[in-house]
Amino acid sequence: MYDVAERSGVSIATVSRVYRTPDSVRAQTRERVLEAARQLGYVPSGNARGLASRTTGVLGLCFPDYADADAEADAEADSDADDAVMLYSDQIIRGMERAARRHGYALLIAASLEGGPESLVAKVAGRVDGFAVLAQTVPTEDLEVISRRLPVVMLAGPREIDHLDHIVVANADGERELARHLIEDHGLRRLAFVGGEAESPDAEARFLGFQEACRDAGLPVPDEPDLRAEMMTQAEGARAAEALLDRETEWPQGVLFANDQMAVGALRALERRGVRVPEDIAVTGFDGIPLSRIVRPPLTTVRQPIRQLGEQAVELLVQRLGNSGREPVSLMLPVSLIRRASCGCG
């Protein structure tokens, strides 16, 4: 910048003005400066600008390190498809990028590895005006500290810190609606629910919705999921399906899985065992992943508006950047039931 100033015979203040407030500089001077900048290959330092102006024009996203889950998903899917499957994080990124672009922000993304001062989270936090975090990505205490300095919005998970903005999807509502559909529209009465580990807030919320539907329909209300999977993967789903079949008791008429991955695994296991879906047993998932459309039979599920999650996150951040005094909000995004063949529809 000093070089540009010297070369064009002005002060650095004027060079700065050329970039920040072009109209405040005489056209002739401005051209001289821009020409010099071009000749010198001048690239303004975002760091310096950010330091001086205390703002970066960048929003951030921290998401968990899915590396293992991906490797697994890739291995399970036919290799043909592994490039095609859009992950949760991909969709959030896309949503945030769109919204950020609309507001003139760039987006900084990083998967958190471990914690500690040198973590990527710390790097992100120091380089953005505000950021979103996927639940269970960053240790609560770190978030607690960081959120005192800049806007943070928490996505999809329990509200661990109450002064943070927070967005979830309507897990319970979705599962309740799904169960209601099975009960009322398909006349099923003996339903089983396969959940995840008790620490998964999503899975728990979905089970809650299932309970509500049972209650609403006057059916017995289970205290616990019939089965809990550790990993919520296809393999676990297959295992759960077989466990359900091998029980002494009569088969359930329908099985609700806490996510699509498990339901897909179950579909395959049932096919191997010669159990017809939906004639013998109805199967449902949750999430609305692409795979749910492709499997046979197509999976009835509940779609989460993941992209909107990202867009809303940016909206909240931008709002708070404009008005830091705003009360923290907690949004719940509506989900939508997708009826396909695996429950008997279509």
Partner DNA sequence: ATCTAGGGTGAATGCGCTTTCATAAGAGGG
Partner DNA sequence: CCCTCTTATGAAAGCGCATTCACCCTAGAT
Q: Does 27 bind a copy of itself (CB under 8 A)?
A: no
Measured between alpha carbons, how far is 74 from 82 in angstroms, rounded to an integer?
5
Q: Which of 7, 34, 40, 42 binds DNA (CB under 7 A)?
A: 42
Q: Please give the full DSSP string across 116-149, using - where no structure is assigned.
A: STTSHHHHHHHH-SEEEEETTSS-HHHHHHHTTT
CB closer to a copy of itself, 93 vs 316? 93
When asked if residue 36 is in the footprint of DNA (CB under 7 A), the reply is: no
Q: Is 290 in the site for a copy of itself (CB under 8 A)?
A: yes
How remote is the C-alpha of 344 from its chain's centroid? Answer: 29
Q: Does 49 bind a copy of itself (CB under 8 A)?
A: yes
**Can you tell me the distance from the alpha carbon of 301 to that of 182, in angstroms, rounded to the nearest whole number?**
11
Is position 306 an interface residue for a copy of itself (rule: CB under 8 A)? yes
Is residue 282 within 8 Å of 266, Cβ to Cβ? Answer: no
Answer whether 52's CB lies under 8 Å from 100's CB. Answer: no
Q: Would you say 44 or 222 has its CB closer to a copy of itself?
A: 44
Bridging pattern class, strands 130-134 and 301-303: unpaired
Residue recorded with tokens 């997708």: 338
Whether residue 342 contacts residue 267, with contact meaning beta carbons closer than 8 Å, is answered with yes
Q: Which of 22, 39, 45, 198 binds DNA (CB under 7 A)?
A: 45
What is the spatial distance between Cα 29 and Cα 56, in angstroms, rounded to a whole number? 27
Answer yes or no: are the C-beta atoms of 306 and 91 closer than 8 Å. Answer: yes
12 binds a copy of itself (CB under 8 A): no
Q: What tokens appear for 158 in the block?
A: 């329990």
- Quick note: the x/- pattern for DNA over 47-76, rule CB under 7 A, is xxx-xxxx----------------------
Which listed residue (36, 99, 120, 335) binds a copy of itself by CB under 8 A?
120
The letter for the amino acid at 117 is P
124 in contact with a copy of itself (CB under 8 A): yes
Select the span of 114-122, 190-198, 256-264, 324-332 touching a copy of itself (CB under 8 A): 114-122
Q: Which is nearer to DNA, 43 or 75 (CB)?
A: 43
Where does this chain touch DNA (CB under 7 A) — which range of 42-50, 84-92, 282-290, 305-313? 42-50
Task: State yes or no: residue 35 binds a copy of itself (CB under 8 A).
Answer: no
51 binds a copy of itself (CB under 8 A): yes
Ramachandran class of 216: left when φ > 0, alpha when ψ lies in -120 to 50, beta otherwise: alpha
Cα distance between residue 251 and residue 191, in whole Å: 9
Q: Which is nearer to a copy of itself, 294 or 341 (CB)?
A: 294
Tracing tokens 């300095």 back to the chain, one arrives at 149
Options 6-14, 208-216, 240-248, 313-321: segment touching DNA (CB under 7 A): 6-14
CA 20 to chain centre: 35
Q: Is 328 in the site for a copy of itself (CB under 8 A)?
A: no
Rounded CA gap, 81 and 65, in Å?
21
Q: Judged by CB under 7 A, which stretch of 9-17, 56-64, 152-160, 281-289 contacts DNA?
A: 9-17
CB under 5 to 8 A by kind: which of DNA, a copy of itself, none does 29 bind?
Answer: DNA
Is 84 exposed, middle or buried (CB count within 10 Å of its CB: 0-12, 13-18, 19+)? exposed
Structural tokens at position 324: 């830091």
Kindly state the number of chain residues that form the binding site for DNA, as judged by CB under 7 A: 28
Amino acid at residue number 205:
A
Report in angstroms how near the CB of residue 290 gets to a copy of itself at its nearest: 4
How near is the Cβ of 22 to DNA at its closest, in Å?
Answer: 10
Q: Which spans of this chain sit near a copy of itself (rule: CB under 8 A)?
A: 18-19, 22, 34, 37-38, 41-51, 56-58, 65, 67, 80-81, 83-87, 90-91, 93-94, 97-98, 101, 104, 106-111, 113, 117-118, 120, 122-127, 141, 145-146, 148-150, 288-290, 293-294, 303, 306-307, 338
